[in-house]
A and B are shown apart, each in its own frame.
Chain A
């Protein structure tokens, strides 16, 4: 496999264009899911794109992070979680004025459930399992340059 090694960034995303990696480096991502296997999987997916996600085990922990002042550009929100589920957490975050992109991830694929989840304030909703294509799609939004600070090193 041909790879360009002289990148200034870390090498973990050789399969993708370097531009994408450099653009993504400044994104803060939060993975919210109660299943450690899913957290690990989504974490690895995101690292593949040059991101270093934080994780939270349920909706309440996610909200606590925001309350502490941490801001995230992107939140991957599972729907079914104990203590506080994805729908409640999304509603609460929006009520707090959070404008991060929130992407719902659910294993309940029925249109009604996904609709209800979307109505809580999601930007997108995907059915599990998450794939690399879905993440590429979501990250494209950030590369459109709506509110990024221009820190591309060159």
Chain B
């Protein structure tokens, strides 16, 4: 595939992520913050998000497996996940977190477990998509091109 095609593919892919609600305007902000002084900013922030999320999802799984669930603890983790997902623009993850917190408030274990599954699913989707997007960007850069905005 030639450079122009790759660039077009990237733009289309990125646009689809916005359309499907995987990313929102906050992600655009991140891209605007990236410049020659901070050339890997987006990848760095997103990697941090991946690490954070994986840790939080593990903690949530453990917390919800307990005989007597500590909802305060669960809520604190979901709160963090909501915060970081909204900060990078991972809109669908953020939305599930909102519902998740409501179930925490109601102390509804079933609801929480359902949300946990959902949030894991949405997280793995957005992770895959962002990784694909970064791969495309890498291909473009390796071919000597620049990333279209």
Contact = CB atoms under 8 A, between A and B. Distances in A.
B33 interface: yes
Contacts of B33: 44-45, 48, 132
A35 B29 contact: no
A9 interface: no
- Interface of A, secondary structure class, is helix
A38 B38 contact: no
A99 interface: no
Contacts of A48: 33
Interface range, B side = 20 to 34
Contacts of A83: none
Contact of A80 (B26, B45, B79, B87): B79
B71 to A, nearest CB: 15
Interface string B32-45: 11010110010011
Interface of B: 26, 29-30, 32-33, 35, 37-38, 41, 44-45, 48-49, 52, 76, 79-80, 82-84, 86-88
9 tightest Cβ-Cβ pairs between the two chains A and B: A129-B87, A37-B48, A12-B37, A107-B83, A37-B84, A129-B86, A129-B26, A44-B33, A41-B87
